[in-house]
């Protein structure tokens, strides 16, 4: 097994860095001695994180580039600034994303479907495409795509989110095989529930959230540290927690039984409630 890669002085670009997993990854990379390019839409939070990093890690230099990655102009500007800063990007962490977890017929076509696919799948594809030529020229690099267990198991109300994350999984597998001859690693990280702000933007009725998912949430710093671990020693795919990987195997090998279980104990009950006059799971709260 090859030794761990040193991250000292490496240039790391992290999307969605203003909170949650992205913020945690930034702190972990700074501790490892890397220089950081931080991007997200919330500029004030990015500057606050930069100041925090400067205070705690004097060797860490940071470039802040506010961007909405659903906008092509912002994405192109981010790639240009990132590459111009130090002439290279050694690690790209495609982390930015959001979810809208409701029944498909309740989702808004533009705000919930197109926007979700754009940020969760198209943006990582296009940003990777923009950074990749520099990695090929330098004959090395690491691309870490932060997906979800939803890239392995598609649950009810995750229709669009899983479509994006399954796509990210396919992108990672194909790209890994494309760029391996250039010494570039492509990693897919599939965390289960994580304690971040992600859940605040789901716009779903609490009935459609499995209670067990709330109890299984992992701290963001754990995921951030695993991202740094992948940059040091790349792997094709990492599932957190590990046993979710076995659930994915069960889901794939015994799909009929899983369908029956979910229908009988979860979906059928909620659908009956809707038809009997209960509040629709996708109804927005005032």
What residues pair up with 31 in beta bridges, in sequence order?
Answer: none
Whole-number Å distance between alpha carbons of 239 and 247: 11
pTM above 0.75, yes or no: yes
| Residue among 224, 145, 148, 221 nearest 185 (CA) | 145
Segment 72-123, tens digit of pLDDT: 999 999 999 999 999 999 999 999 999 998 899 999 999 999 999 999 999 9
Segment 159-218, tens digit of pLDDT: 999 999 999 999 999 999 999 999 999 999 999 888 765 555 555 555 555 545 566 778
| Residue among 286, 46, 114 nearest 37 (CA) | 46
> Which domains does the chain show, CATH number per domain?
11-249 (3.40.50.720)
Per the annotation, the verdict on 266 as an active-site residue is: no
pLDDT at 1: 40
Q: What is the mean pLDDT of the chain?
A: 88
Q: What share of the chain is helix, strand, coil (3-state, %, to 5)?
A: 55, 15, 30
- Compute how many other C-beta atoms are within 10 angstroms of the C-beta atom of residue 285: 8
- The beta strand positions in the chain, using DSSP E, are 11-15, 35-39, 62-64, 91-94, 141-146, 184-191, 194-195, 218-219, 237-240
Segment 125-168, tens digit of pLDDT: 999 999 999 999 999 999 999 999 999 999 999 999 999 999 99
Whole-number Å distance between alpha carbons of 17 and 45: 9
Catalytic residue, chosen from 158, 161, 243, 266, is 161
Segment 227-242, tens digit of pLDDT: 999 999 999 999 998 8
């Amino acid at each position: 097994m090859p030794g761990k890669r040193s991250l000292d002085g490496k240039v790391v670009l992290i999307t969605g860095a203003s909170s949650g997993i992205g913020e945690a990854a930034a702190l972990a990379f700074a501790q490892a001695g890397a220089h950081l390019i931080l991007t997200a839409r919330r500029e004030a939070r990015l500057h606050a994180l930069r100041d925090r990093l400067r205070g705690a890690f004097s060797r860490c230099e940071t470039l802040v580039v506010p961007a909405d990655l659903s906008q092509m102009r912002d994405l192109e500007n981010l790639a240009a600034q990132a590459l111009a800063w130090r002439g290279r990007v050694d690690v790209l962490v495609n982390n930015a994303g959001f979810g809208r977890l409701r029944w498909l017929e309740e989702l808004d076509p533009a705000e919930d479907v197109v926007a979700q696919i754009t940020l969760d799948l198209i943006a990582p594809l296009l940003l990777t495409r923009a950074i990749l030529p520099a990695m090929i020229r330098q004959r090395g690099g690491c691309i870490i795509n932060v997906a979800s267990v939803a890239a392995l198991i598609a649950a009810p109300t995750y229709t669009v989110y899983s479509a994006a994350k399954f796509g990210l999984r396919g992108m990672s597998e194909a790209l890994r095989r494309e760029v391996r001859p250039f010494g570039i690693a492509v990693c897919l990280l599939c965390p289960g529930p994580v304690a971040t702000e992600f859940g605040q933007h789901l716009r779903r009725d609490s009935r459609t959230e499995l209670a067990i998912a709330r109890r299984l949430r992992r701290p963001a710093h754990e995921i951030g540290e695993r991202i740094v671990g992948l940059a040091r020693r790349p792997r094709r795919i990492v599932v957190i927690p590990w046993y979710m990987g076995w659930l994915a195997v069960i889901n794939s090998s015994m799909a009929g039984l899983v369908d029956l279980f979910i229908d009988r104990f979860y979906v059928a009950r909620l659908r009956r409630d809707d038809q009997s006059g209960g509040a629709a799971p996708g109804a927005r709260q005032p």
